[in-house]
Amino acid sequence: MAKKAKAKTKTGRVSVQDLMNLVNKKAGRNVAHDLTAENPTEVKQWIPTGSRWLDSIICRGKSAGIPVGKISEIAGLEATGKSYMACQIAANAQKKGLLVVYFDSESAIDPSFLERAGCDLSRLMYIQAASVEFVLETVEELLGASSDQLLFIWDSLALTPAISDIEGDFNPNSSMAVKARILAKGMSKLVIPIADKQATFLVLNQLKANITSGPMARITAMTTPYVTPGGKAMQYSYSLRIWLTGRKAKSAFIEDEKGFRIGSEVKCKLEKSRFGTAGRYCTFRILWGTEDIGIRDEESWFDAVKASKHMKSAGSWYTLTMPNGYTKKFQPSRWTKLIESDEEFKKNIIELIDVEVVQKFDKREENANKFYDDTSEE
């Protein structure tokens, strides 16, 4: 009996485009790209954080914010304004047309709080975060069901239990590392769908003291004073990690004239940034005990530019002298009122922030210590 001849596959030189078409057909979507024609990982849209200084240090060469199409984290110590900052970001996202989905595990958000931050409640979905599994599955389902551009805010990861934690007893060893394994699998599963849908996932987390033991305990505590819940695998899913701490250990709170606490002095560090700026820091004030809540943006601009060669101090007075010939003499106590009332002064300060915070870092014009975190302030 004659053997059946095997069909020969025609082979030969093919173009890169032909290979890309083959891969994309196999994947069922566009996963192969010509990098000479496009950059598939480029962030094309950013959501302002509410702090111009912070937005200016997130990405090299531009004023940015929270990256759309990525997963980001804001972690902080108690009373550093994580939720207030997230609400302000939500309001800014709505101004850009995004629909906000807010997962709340802390039962700390109410409608008036969101409205005071500037949110439009008709463009916001509030969801009680019952479990880690529920949050991750809901995000996945909404990504597949909605044609809207979505911002997911999870407040907070640290206080959201896994199902095994809910159903088990209070023994912490009974479900050890279960939550971390769920997060590692779930977040890695969401990275590509979030990018494809140009959605944004903002995870709020808590900073905890890094308590270690052994001969290297003291060194470890000094070099890595804080850790975040959720496991180490979570860190690889984040494109941006913003850590909030008290600006000064003994004076982290802002008080009114009667001594009541109305806000926090916050130091903000970029713990991780895939945009070339990890380790940079800024400071700002967040008010939460007044009618108008959120970041007091203009008040922090003075700290961003006061060391500039264009700012000269003499006693209680400063003089701003710009290369374009503009000059203004002022007292720091009148800084905010001057920003609000003098448009020309405000315009020149914004230009100076761009020079001092963005351009000098990109061109390496100053000593690196000026731009990176100084942990001695904590």
Check whether residue 233 and residue 306 sit in a common domain.
Answer: no
Check whether residue 73 and residue 162 sit in a common domain.
Answer: yes
Percent pLDDT > 70 in the chain is 89
Say yes or no to pLDDT of 376 above 70.
no
Model pLDDT, residue 291: 80
Task: Tell me whether the omega of the peptide bond preceding residue 156 falls within 30 degrees of 0, making it cis.
Answer: yes
- Give the tens place of pLDDT for each residue, 243-297: 999 865 545 788 888 989 888 899 999 999 999 889 999 999 998 888 878 899 9
Model pLDDT, residue 172: 61
Check whether residue 209 and residue 131 sit in a common domain.
Answer: yes
Model pLDDT, residue 9: 46
Residue after which a domain boundary falls, among 202, 218, 242: 242
Per the structure, the count of domains in the chain is: 2
d(C-alpha 343, C-alpha 340), whole Å: 7
Residue after which a domain boundary falls, among 225, 242, 259: 242
Check whether residue 74 and residue 182 sit in a common domain.
Answer: yes
Check whether residue 109 and residue 212 sit in a common domain.
Answer: yes
Nearest CA among 38, 17, 24, 91 for reference residue 293: 91
d(C-alpha 57, C-alpha 222), whole Å: 25
Check whether residue 191 and residue 116 sit in a common domain.
Answer: yes
| Average pLDDT of span 120-149 | 96
Model pLDDT, residue 217: 61
Domain-embedded: residue 61: yes
| Average pLDDT of span 36-42 | 89
Its pTM stands at 0.89
Say yes or no to pLDDT of 204 above 60.
yes
Check whether residue 93 and residue 233 sit in a common domain.
Answer: yes
What is the SS3 assignment for 303-324? HHHCCCCCEEEECCEEEEECCC
Model pLDDT, residue 161: 92
Say yes or no to pLDDT of 8 above 80.
no
Model pLDDT, residue 221: 59
Tell me how crowded residue 61 is: count the other CB atoms within 10 A of its CB: 12
Residue after which a domain boundary falls, among 207, 227, 242: 242
Check whether residue 139 and residue 238 sit in a common domain.
Answer: yes
d(C-alpha 49, C-alpha 87), whole Å: 10
Domain-embedded: residue 24: no
Domain-embedded: residue 237: yes
Check whether residue 218 and residue 91 sit in a common domain.
Answer: yes
Model pLDDT, residue 373: 73
CATH number at residue 230: 3.40.50.300
CATH number at residue 356: 3.30.250
- Give the tens place of pLDDT for each residue, 307-362: 999 999 999 999 999 999 999 999 999 999 999 999 999 999 999 999 999 999 98
DSSP state of 5: P
Check whether residue 229 and residue 333 sit in a common domain.
Answer: no
Check whether residue 354 and residue 214 sit in a common domain.
Answer: no
Higher per-residue pLDDT: 203 or 289? 203
Model pLDDT, residue 250: 47
Query: What is the domain extent for residue 342?
Result: 298-362+371-375
